[in-house]
Copies of this chain bind each other. A is one copy, B any other.
Protein backbone atom coordinates (compact mmCIF):
# COMPACT_ATOMS: atom_id res chain seq x y z
CA UNK A 1 0.00 0.00 0.00
CA UNK A 2 1.26 3.47 -0.74
CA UNK A 3 0.96 6.61 1.32
CA UNK A 4 -1.72 8.42 -0.65
CA UNK A 5 -4.98 6.51 -0.48
CA UNK A 6 -7.14 6.12 2.60
CA UNK A 7 -6.61 2.66 4.04
CA UNK A 8 -9.34 0.92 5.96
CA UNK A 9 -8.01 0.06 9.41
CA UNK A 10 -9.81 -2.53 11.51
CA UNK A 11 -9.20 -2.20 15.24
CA UNK A 12 -10.24 -5.21 17.32
CA UNK A 13 -11.15 -3.95 20.80
CA UNK A 14 -12.63 -0.63 21.94
CA UNK A 15 -10.95 -0.66 25.34
CA UNK A 16 -8.69 2.21 26.34
CA UNK A 17 -5.84 1.53 23.92
CA UNK A 18 -8.16 0.69 21.03
CA UNK A 19 -10.22 3.83 21.60
CA UNK A 20 -7.15 6.08 21.78
CA UNK A 21 -5.69 4.54 18.63
CA UNK A 22 -9.04 5.10 16.88
CA UNK A 23 -8.85 8.81 17.85
CA UNK A 24 -5.27 9.21 16.62
CA UNK A 25 -5.82 7.30 13.35
CA UNK A 26 -9.10 9.18 12.87
CA UNK A 27 -7.28 12.49 13.36
CA UNK A 28 -4.68 11.37 10.79
CA UNK A 29 -7.44 10.79 8.24
CA UNK A 30 -7.61 7.00 8.08
CA UNK A 31 -10.88 5.11 7.77
CA UNK A 32 -11.18 3.26 11.05
CA UNK A 33 -13.66 0.56 12.03
CA UNK A 34 -13.60 -0.65 15.62
CA UNK A 35 -15.15 -3.97 16.72
CA UNK A 36 -15.72 -4.58 20.43
CA UNK A 37 -16.99 -7.81 21.93
CA UNK A 38 -18.71 -6.10 24.88
CA UNK A 39 -21.82 -3.94 24.74
CA UNK A 40 -21.46 -0.18 24.41
CA UNK A 41 -20.56 0.94 27.96
CA UNK A 42 -22.50 4.16 27.40
CA UNK A 43 -25.71 2.16 27.07
CA UNK A 44 -25.16 -0.73 29.43
CA UNK A 45 -23.49 0.96 32.36
CA UNK A 46 -20.02 0.14 33.58
CA UNK A 47 -19.23 -3.37 34.73
CA UNK A 48 -17.03 -3.39 37.83
CA UNK A 49 -15.59 -6.10 40.03
CA UNK A 50 -12.55 -7.15 38.05
CA UNK A 51 -10.60 -4.03 37.17
CA UNK A 52 -8.06 -2.45 39.40
CA UNK A 53 -8.36 1.36 39.18
CA UNK A 54 -6.02 2.90 36.74
CA UNK A 55 -3.20 5.24 37.68
CA UNK A 56 -2.42 7.48 34.75
CA UNK A 57 0.78 9.50 34.73
CA UNK A 58 2.90 11.57 32.37
CA UNK A 59 3.10 9.04 29.54
CA UNK A 60 -0.66 8.52 29.32
CA UNK A 61 -1.31 12.24 29.77
CA UNK A 62 1.01 13.07 26.88
CA UNK A 63 -0.83 10.59 24.66
CA UNK A 64 -4.22 11.95 25.73
CA UNK A 65 -3.00 15.46 24.91
CA UNK A 66 -2.37 14.40 21.31
CA UNK A 67 -6.04 13.45 21.16
CA UNK A 68 -7.06 16.67 22.97
CA UNK A 69 -8.34 14.69 25.94
CA UNK A 70 -5.84 15.37 28.73
CA UNK A 71 -7.76 18.16 30.49
CA UNK A 72 -11.07 16.37 30.41
CA UNK A 73 -9.53 13.18 31.80
CA UNK A 74 -7.56 14.92 34.55
CA UNK A 75 -10.71 16.72 35.69
CA UNK A 76 -12.19 13.31 36.45
CA UNK A 77 -9.04 12.08 38.22
CA UNK A 78 -7.76 12.16 41.79
CA UNK A 79 -4.08 12.98 42.24
CA UNK A 80 -2.12 10.60 44.46
CA UNK A 81 1.11 12.24 45.61
CA UNK A 82 2.63 9.34 47.51
CA UNK A 83 2.19 6.05 49.27
CA UNK A 84 0.33 5.88 52.57
CA UNK A 85 1.70 2.86 54.40
CA UNK A 86 -0.62 1.14 56.89
CA UNK A 87 1.34 -0.82 59.49
CA UNK A 88 -0.02 -4.04 61.04
CA UNK A 89 -1.03 -2.01 64.10
CA UNK A 90 -2.80 0.59 61.94
CA UNK A 91 -0.13 3.31 62.13
CA UNK A 92 0.15 5.51 59.04
CA UNK A 93 3.25 6.89 57.35
CA UNK A 94 3.28 8.88 54.14
CA UNK A 95 6.04 8.45 51.53
CA UNK A 96 5.86 11.17 48.86
CA UNK A 97 6.58 9.95 45.32
CA UNK A 98 8.77 12.94 44.51
CA UNK A 99 10.46 16.04 45.88
CA UNK A 100 8.21 17.91 43.46
CA UNK A 101 4.73 18.16 45.01
CA UNK A 102 3.21 18.49 41.53
CA UNK A 103 4.39 14.99 40.60
CA UNK A 104 1.42 12.72 41.13
CA UNK A 105 -0.13 9.61 39.66
CA UNK A 106 -3.81 10.01 38.94
CA UNK A 107 -6.51 7.57 39.97
CA UNK A 108 -9.19 7.24 37.31
CA UNK A 109 -12.04 4.83 36.77
CA UNK A 110 -11.42 2.56 33.81
CA UNK A 111 -15.09 2.68 32.85
CA UNK A 112 -15.44 6.47 32.95
CA UNK A 113 -12.20 6.93 31.03
CA UNK A 114 -13.38 4.48 28.38
CA UNK A 115 -16.64 6.40 27.90
CA UNK A 116 -14.73 9.69 27.53
CA UNK A 117 -12.50 8.16 24.89
CA UNK A 118 -15.28 6.45 22.94
CA UNK A 119 -17.16 9.76 22.81
CA UNK A 120 -14.02 11.44 21.51
CA UNK A 121 -13.38 8.77 18.86
CA UNK A 122 -16.95 9.04 17.60
CA UNK A 123 -16.43 12.72 16.86
CA UNK A 124 -14.46 11.65 13.79
CA UNK A 125 -16.75 10.93 10.82
CA UNK A 126 -14.17 8.47 9.48
CA UNK A 127 -14.25 6.36 12.69
CA UNK A 128 -17.08 3.90 13.33
CA UNK A 129 -17.71 1.55 16.24
CA UNK A 130 -19.54 -1.77 16.37
CA UNK A 131 -20.29 -3.29 19.77
CA UNK A 132 -21.35 -6.84 20.72
CA UNK A 133 -19.02 -8.12 17.97
CA UNK A 134 -16.58 -10.72 19.26
CA UNK A 135 -13.60 -11.47 17.08
CA UNK A 136 -13.54 -15.28 16.79
CA UNK A 137 -11.01 -15.71 13.98
CA UNK A 138 -8.50 -13.72 11.97
CA UNK A 139 -7.34 -14.37 8.43
CA UNK A 140 -3.87 -12.92 8.64
CA UNK A 141 -3.05 -13.08 4.94
CA UNK A 142 -6.08 -11.18 3.65
CA UNK A 143 -6.29 -9.60 6.35
CA UNK A 144 -9.81 -10.07 7.68
CA UNK A 145 -11.58 -10.72 10.96
CA UNK A 146 -14.47 -13.04 11.68
CA UNK A 147 -16.99 -11.51 14.07
CA UNK A 148 -19.67 -13.16 16.17
CA UNK A 149 -22.63 -10.87 16.77
CA UNK A 150 -23.77 -11.38 20.37
CA UNK A 151 -27.33 -10.34 19.53
CA UNK A 152 -27.97 -12.35 16.36
CA UNK A 153 -25.42 -15.12 17.03
CA UNK A 154 -24.37 -14.78 13.37
CA UNK A 155 -20.76 -14.65 12.23
CA UNK A 156 -19.46 -12.48 9.40
CA UNK A 157 -16.07 -11.94 7.84
CA UNK A 158 -14.92 -8.34 7.45
CA UNK A 159 -11.92 -7.42 5.34
CA UNK A 160 -9.59 -4.46 5.86
CA UNK A 161 -6.21 -3.17 4.77
CA UNK A 162 -4.73 -3.47 8.25
CA UNK A 163 -6.01 -5.34 11.31
CA UNK A 164 -4.83 -4.07 14.70
CA UNK A 165 -5.39 -6.25 17.75
CA UNK A 166 -6.11 -3.99 20.72
CA UNK A 167 -8.06 -6.80 22.34
CA UNK A 168 -6.24 -7.16 25.61
CA UNK A 169 -4.24 -9.75 27.51
CA UNK A 170 -6.21 -12.67 26.01
CA UNK A 171 -6.17 -11.23 22.49
CA UNK A 172 -7.89 -13.23 19.75
CA UNK A 173 -5.72 -11.54 17.13
CA UNK A 174 -2.58 -12.62 18.96
CA UNK A 175 -3.92 -16.15 19.23
CA UNK A 176 -3.86 -16.38 15.44
CA UNK A 177 -0.38 -14.81 15.20
CA UNK A 178 0.67 -17.50 17.69
CA UNK A 179 0.23 -20.06 14.92
CA UNK A 180 2.70 -18.30 12.61
CA UNK A 181 6.10 -19.94 12.32
CA UNK A 182 8.75 -18.26 14.49
CA UNK A 183 6.31 -16.34 16.70
CA UNK A 184 7.88 -16.12 20.17
CA UNK A 185 5.39 -16.24 22.99
CA UNK A 186 5.58 -16.25 26.77
CA UNK A 187 2.78 -16.15 29.33
CA UNK A 188 3.68 -16.38 33.00
CA UNK A 189 1.28 -16.20 35.90
CA UNK A 190 2.13 -14.94 39.37
CA UNK A 191 1.46 -17.34 42.24
CA UNK A 192 -0.70 -14.50 43.62
CA UNK A 193 -4.24 -13.61 42.59
CA UNK A 194 -6.33 -10.58 43.43
CA UNK A 195 -9.76 -9.72 44.72
CA UNK A 196 -11.46 -6.34 44.70
CA UNK A 197 -13.10 -5.00 47.84
CA UNK A 198 -14.58 -1.61 48.70
CA UNK A 199 -14.30 1.18 51.29
CA UNK A 200 -17.46 3.32 51.00
CA UNK A 201 -17.70 7.00 52.05
CA UNK A 202 -18.16 7.76 55.75
CA UNK A 203 -21.64 8.39 57.14
CA UNK A 204 -21.20 12.12 56.45
CA UNK A 205 -20.32 11.42 52.83
CA UNK A 206 -16.58 12.01 53.05
CA UNK A 207 -13.57 9.93 52.01
CA UNK A 208 -12.84 7.42 54.77
CA UNK A 209 -9.07 7.97 54.33
CA UNK A 210 -6.74 10.54 52.76
CA UNK A 211 -7.80 10.56 49.07
CA UNK A 212 -4.50 11.98 47.78
CA UNK A 213 -2.47 8.86 48.39
CA UNK A 214 -2.18 5.31 47.19
CA UNK A 215 -2.84 3.29 50.34
CA UNK A 216 -0.78 0.17 50.94
CA UNK A 217 -0.99 -2.48 53.63
CA UNK A 218 2.30 -4.30 52.99
CA UNK A 219 2.49 -7.58 54.87
CA UNK A 220 5.48 -9.41 53.42
CA UNK A 221 4.35 -12.04 50.93
CA UNK A 222 1.02 -10.32 50.35
CA UNK A 223 -0.61 -6.90 50.54
CA UNK A 224 -3.75 -4.85 50.12
CA UNK A 225 -3.90 -1.54 48.29
CA UNK A 226 -6.62 1.11 47.96
CA UNK A 227 -7.13 3.82 45.32
CA UNK A 228 -9.59 6.70 45.63
CA UNK A 229 -12.60 7.16 43.35
CA UNK A 230 -14.48 10.37 42.49
CA UNK A 231 -17.58 9.08 44.31
CA UNK A 232 -15.53 9.12 47.55
CA UNK A 233 -15.23 5.38 47.71
CA UNK A 234 -11.92 3.52 47.63
CA UNK A 235 -11.39 0.45 45.52
CA UNK A 236 -9.32 -1.97 47.58
CA UNK A 237 -7.44 -4.84 46.04
CA UNK A 238 -6.12 -7.75 48.03
CA UNK A 239 -3.10 -9.48 46.45
CA UNK A 240 -2.69 -12.90 47.96
CA UNK A 241 -1.26 -16.30 47.04
CA UNK A 242 -3.74 -18.70 45.43
CA UNK A 243 -2.46 -21.64 47.48
CA UNK A 244 -0.62 -22.28 50.73
CA UNK A 245 -1.25 -21.74 54.45
CA UNK A 246 -2.19 -18.04 54.02
CA UNK A 247 -4.05 -17.89 50.74
CA UNK A 248 -7.32 -17.55 48.88
CA UNK A 249 -7.56 -21.33 49.01
CA UNK A 250 -7.24 -21.36 52.81
CA UNK A 251 -9.80 -18.58 53.45
CA UNK A 252 -12.97 -19.53 51.65
CA UNK A 253 -15.47 -19.89 54.49
CA UNK A 254 -17.48 -16.97 55.81
CA UNK A 255 -16.16 -17.61 59.33
CA UNK A 256 -12.52 -17.29 58.20
CA UNK A 257 -12.72 -13.93 56.44
CA UNK A 258 -13.18 -11.54 59.34
CA UNK A 259 -10.52 -13.08 61.61
CA UNK A 260 -7.98 -12.85 58.79
CA UNK A 261 -8.71 -9.17 58.10
CA UNK A 262 -8.85 -8.26 61.82
CA UNK A 263 -5.46 -9.88 62.37
CA UNK A 264 -3.69 -8.34 59.37
CA UNK A 265 -5.58 -5.20 58.31
CA UNK A 266 -7.12 -4.06 61.63
CA UNK A 267 -7.49 -0.39 60.67
CA UNK A 268 -9.25 -1.25 57.40
CA UNK A 269 -11.93 -3.50 58.88
CA UNK A 270 -14.09 -0.71 60.43
CA UNK A 271 -14.06 1.06 57.04
CA UNK A 272 -15.33 -1.98 55.11
CA UNK A 273 -18.92 -2.76 56.15
CA UNK A 274 -19.46 -5.06 53.17
CA UNK A 275 -16.16 -6.89 53.63
CA UNK A 276 -17.40 -10.45 54.13
CA UNK A 277 -20.07 -10.28 51.40
CA UNK A 278 -17.63 -8.68 48.93
CA UNK A 279 -14.93 -11.20 49.73
CA UNK A 280 -17.20 -14.18 49.19
CA UNK A 281 -19.00 -12.90 46.10
CA UNK A 282 -16.25 -11.08 44.15
CA UNK A 283 -14.13 -13.24 41.87
CA UNK A 284 -10.50 -14.13 42.51
CA UNK A 285 -8.54 -13.22 39.39
CA UNK A 286 -5.11 -14.20 38.20
CA UNK A 287 -2.18 -11.96 37.21
CA UNK A 288 -0.41 -12.70 33.97
CA UNK A 289 2.60 -11.28 32.15
CA UNK A 290 2.54 -11.81 28.38
CA UNK A 291 5.53 -11.20 26.12
CA UNK A 292 5.58 -12.02 22.46
CA UNK A 293 7.08 -11.06 19.14
CA UNK A 294 7.00 -10.02 16.43
CA UNK A 295 3.92 -7.85 17.04
CA UNK A 296 3.32 -7.38 13.35
CA UNK A 297 2.91 -9.32 10.14
CA UNK A 298 3.89 -7.54 6.92
CA UNK A 299 1.63 -4.51 6.33
CA UNK A 300 -1.37 -6.51 7.49
CA UNK A 301 -1.61 -7.20 11.20
CA UNK A 302 -0.26 -5.63 14.39
CA UNK A 303 -0.75 -5.93 18.13
CA UNK A 304 -0.95 -3.05 20.58
CA UNK A 305 -1.32 -2.54 24.34
CA UNK A 306 -2.05 -5.56 26.52
CA UNK A 307 -2.46 -7.74 23.42
CA UNK A 308 1.25 -7.20 22.72
CA UNK A 309 2.55 -7.04 26.30
CA UNK A 310 0.22 -7.66 29.22
CA UNK A 311 1.94 -6.69 32.47
CA UNK A 312 1.03 -7.01 36.13
CA UNK A 313 -0.47 -3.84 37.64
CA UNK A 314 2.12 -3.03 40.32
CA UNK A 315 3.85 -0.10 38.64
CA UNK A 316 0.56 1.43 37.50
CA UNK A 317 2.02 1.53 33.98
CA UNK A 318 -0.20 -0.83 31.96
CA UNK A 319 -2.33 1.90 30.44
CA UNK A 320 0.61 4.31 30.21
CA UNK A 321 2.55 1.74 28.19
CA UNK A 322 -0.46 0.98 25.98
CA UNK A 323 -1.03 4.67 25.22
CA UNK A 324 2.70 5.09 24.51
CA UNK A 325 2.35 2.27 21.96
CA UNK A 326 -0.29 4.34 20.16
CA UNK A 327 1.96 7.41 20.11
CA UNK A 328 4.88 5.31 18.87
CA UNK A 329 2.80 3.68 16.12
CA UNK A 330 1.61 7.08 14.91
CA UNK A 331 5.19 8.40 14.91
CA UNK A 332 6.34 5.38 12.92
CA UNK A 333 3.56 5.91 10.38
CA UNK A 334 4.71 9.50 10.01
CA UNK A 335 8.40 8.63 9.71
CA UNK A 336 7.63 5.85 7.20
CA UNK A 337 5.23 8.12 5.28
CA UNK A 338 2.30 5.79 5.52
CA UNK A 339 4.23 2.67 4.44
CA UNK A 340 2.48 0.28 6.84
CA UNK A 341 4.92 -2.57 6.34
CA UNK A 342 7.88 -0.45 7.40
CA UNK A 343 5.89 1.44 10.02
CA UNK A 344 4.69 -1.71 11.79
CA UNK A 345 8.17 -3.28 11.77
CA UNK A 346 9.71 -0.05 13.09
CA UNK A 347 7.04 0.23 15.78
CA UNK A 348 7.82 -3.30 17.01
CA UNK A 349 11.59 -2.71 16.88
CA UNK A 350 11.31 0.52 18.85
CA UNK A 351 8.83 -0.55 21.49
CA UNK A 352 9.70 -4.17 22.32
CA UNK A 353 12.73 -3.50 24.54
CA UNK A 354 10.80 -0.89 26.52
CA UNK A 355 7.71 -2.97 27.14
CA UNK A 356 9.95 -5.86 28.21
CA UNK A 357 11.60 -3.47 30.67
CA UNK A 358 8.32 -2.26 32.21
CA UNK A 359 7.11 -5.89 32.47
CA UNK A 360 10.15 -6.68 34.62
CA UNK A 361 9.76 -3.49 36.64
CA UNK A 362 6.10 -4.24 37.34
CA UNK A 363 6.99 -7.63 38.80
CA UNK A 364 9.83 -6.24 40.93
CA UNK A 365 7.60 -3.42 42.16
CA UNK A 366 5.24 -6.07 43.51
CA UNK A 367 8.05 -7.42 45.68
CA UNK A 368 8.96 -3.86 46.70
CA UNK A 369 5.39 -2.91 47.64
CA UNK A 370 4.47 -6.04 49.55
CA UNK A 371 7.84 -6.85 51.18
CA UNK A 372 9.97 -3.74 51.49
CA UNK A 373 7.65 -0.73 51.56
CA UNK A 374 7.17 -1.20 55.32
CA UNK A 375 10.85 -1.56 56.21
CA UNK A 376 12.93 1.23 57.77
CA UNK A 377 15.85 0.56 55.42
CA UNK A 378 13.57 0.98 52.41
CA UNK A 379 12.19 4.27 53.74
CA UNK A 380 15.73 5.57 54.36
CA UNK A 381 16.72 4.57 50.86
CA UNK A 382 13.70 6.42 49.41
CA UNK A 383 14.55 9.46 51.58
CA UNK A 384 18.17 9.27 50.43
CA UNK A 385 17.00 9.21 46.82
CA UNK A 386 14.90 12.33 47.39
CA UNK A 387 17.87 14.09 49.06
CA UNK A 388 20.22 13.33 46.16
CA UNK A 389 17.46 14.31 43.73
CA UNK A 390 17.09 17.65 45.57
CA UNK A 391 20.87 18.26 45.59
CA UNK A 392 21.46 17.24 41.96
CA UNK A 393 18.08 17.63 40.29
CA UNK A 394 19.56 17.83 36.79
CA UNK A 395 21.57 14.69 37.18
CA UNK A 396 19.82 12.33 39.59
CA UNK A 397 16.30 11.06 39.01
CA UNK A 398 15.02 8.12 41.07
CA UNK A 399 13.81 5.23 38.89
CA UNK A 400 10.23 5.57 40.10
CA UNK A 401 10.24 9.20 38.99
CA UNK A 402 11.70 8.43 35.58
CA UNK A 403 9.01 5.80 35.02
CA UNK A 404 6.06 7.73 36.43
CA UNK A 405 6.95 11.39 35.94
CA UNK A 406 9.00 11.45 32.74
CA UNK A 407 8.72 10.08 29.23
CA UNK A 408 12.24 8.62 29.23
CA UNK A 409 11.75 5.26 27.46
CA UNK A 410 11.46 2.47 30.03
CA UNK A 411 14.62 0.55 29.12
CA UNK A 412 16.66 3.76 29.12
CA UNK A 413 15.26 4.65 32.54
CA UNK A 414 16.39 1.29 33.89
CA UNK A 415 19.89 1.80 32.44
CA UNK A 416 20.15 5.34 33.78
CA UNK A 417 19.02 4.21 37.24
CA UNK A 418 21.69 1.50 37.31
CA UNK A 419 24.35 4.01 36.31
CA UNK A 420 23.19 6.51 38.93
CA UNK A 421 23.14 3.85 41.64
CA UNK A 422 26.69 2.78 40.84
CA UNK A 423 27.93 6.36 41.02
CA UNK A 424 26.08 7.15 44.26
CA UNK A 425 27.42 3.96 45.83
CA UNK A 426 30.96 4.87 44.74
CA UNK A 427 30.54 8.37 46.15
CA UNK A 428 29.24 7.02 49.46
CA UNK A 429 32.19 4.63 49.70
CA UNK A 430 34.58 7.49 48.97
CA UNK A 431 33.02 9.66 51.68
CA UNK A 432 33.25 6.75 54.13
CA UNK A 433 36.89 6.23 53.16
CA UNK A 434 37.73 9.93 53.67
CA UNK A 435 35.94 9.90 57.03
CA UNK A 436 37.89 6.83 58.06
CA UNK A 437 41.23 8.29 56.98
CA UNK A 438 40.41 11.55 58.78
CA UNK A 439 39.48 9.59 61.90
CA UNK A 440 42.75 7.64 61.81
CA UNK A 441 44.69 10.86 61.21
CA UNK A 442 42.85 12.58 64.07
CA UNK A 443 43.48 9.69 66.49
CA UNK A 444 47.14 9.49 65.43
Contacts and interface: CB of A to CB of B under 8 A. Distances in A.
Interface of A: 181-189, 242, 286
Interface of A is mostly: strand
A238 to B, nearest CB: 17
Contacts of A181: 189, 286
Nearest to A184: B188
B185 A187 contact: yes
14 contacts: A181-B286, A182-B189, A182-B242, A182-B286, A183-B187, A183-B189, A184-B187, A184-B189, A185-B185, A185-B186, A185-B187, A186-B186, A186-B187, A186-B188
Contacts of A286: 181-182
Contacts of A189: 181-184
Contacts of A184: 187-189
A296 B186 CA distance: 19
A242 B188 CA distance: 28
Contacts of A182: 189, 242, 286
A132 B409 CA distance: 52
Contacts of A188: 184, 186
A189 B180 CA distance: 11
Given A181-B286, A184-B189, 11 more contacts: A181-B189, A182-B189, A182-B242, A182-B286, A183-B187, A183-B189, A184-B187, A185-B185, A186-B186, A186-B187, A186-B188
A188 B186 CA distance: 8
A54 B140 CA distance: 35
A383 to B, nearest CB: 38
A242 B182 CA distance: 10
Nearest to A290: B185
A347 to B, nearest CB: 19
A408 B286 CA distance: 36
Nearest to A170: B179
A186 B182 CA distance: 12
Nearest to A291: B186
A186 to B, nearest CB: 4
Nearest to A292: B187
Nearest to A287: B182
A187 B186 CA distance: 6
A290 to B, nearest CB: 9
A183 B186 CA distance: 11
Nearest to A185: B187
A407 to B, nearest CB: 31
Contacts of A185: 185-187
A175 to B, nearest CB: 9
Nearest to A193: B182
A188 B182 CA distance: 8
